[in-house]
Amino acid sequence: MQAIGIFELQGYVPAVAAVDAMLKAADVKMLTWEKKLGGWLVSIVITGEVSAVQAAIDAARETCIRTVAAYAVIPNPHPEIMKQIEISKSKYHFNFEED
C-alpha cells in the first residue's frame, strides 16, 4: 500500500538534512517541499510503501537538528490530497521522482 509522509520543521538547512536522512533510511521518494515564512518553516512530502515512509519519518525525527513542528504518515491518501501535492510540485522546474 502506498503512503505519503509529511515532515515539518524549522529551517532550510535542517530540512535538507532531514531529507537526506529520510532518503538514506528507506526506499522512499521525495515528492515536494513547501518553504513558508522565508524558509523558516519547511514541509517535506515523501512517498513509498507505508512501512518505508514510517521508517523514513522516524529517521528524520531521530536525527533532526532543529525543532520538529509536525509529522504524519498517511496510508492510501485521498486523490484530493494528491492533487494538492501535484500543485506544490508544479512550482519547481525539476522532477524529484527521477532516479
The predicted pLDDT at position 39 comes to 64
Global pTM? Answer: 0.87
The predicted pLDDT at position 21 comes to 97
DSSP three-state, residue 57: helix
The predicted pLDDT at position 42 comes to 94
Report CA-CA distances (Å) from 77 to 8, 15, 61, 74, 84: 18, 23, 22, 6, 11
Provide φ and ψ at 68, rounded to 5°.
Answer: -85, 125
- The three cell numbers locating residue 49: 510503501
Rounded mean pLDDT, 64-89:
93
Residue entry with cell 532518503: 23
Asked whether 29 and 96 are in contact (CB, 8 A), the reply is yes
> Per-residue pLDDT tens for 15-29?
999 999 999 999 999
The predicted pLDDT at position 22 comes to 98
For the domain covering 2-89, report its CATH number: 3.30.70.1710
Asked whether 43 and 31 are in contact (CB, 8 A), the reply is no
> Per-residue pLDDT tens for 26-62?
999 999 999 887 667 999 999 999 999 999 999 999 9
The predicted pLDDT at position 35 comes to 86
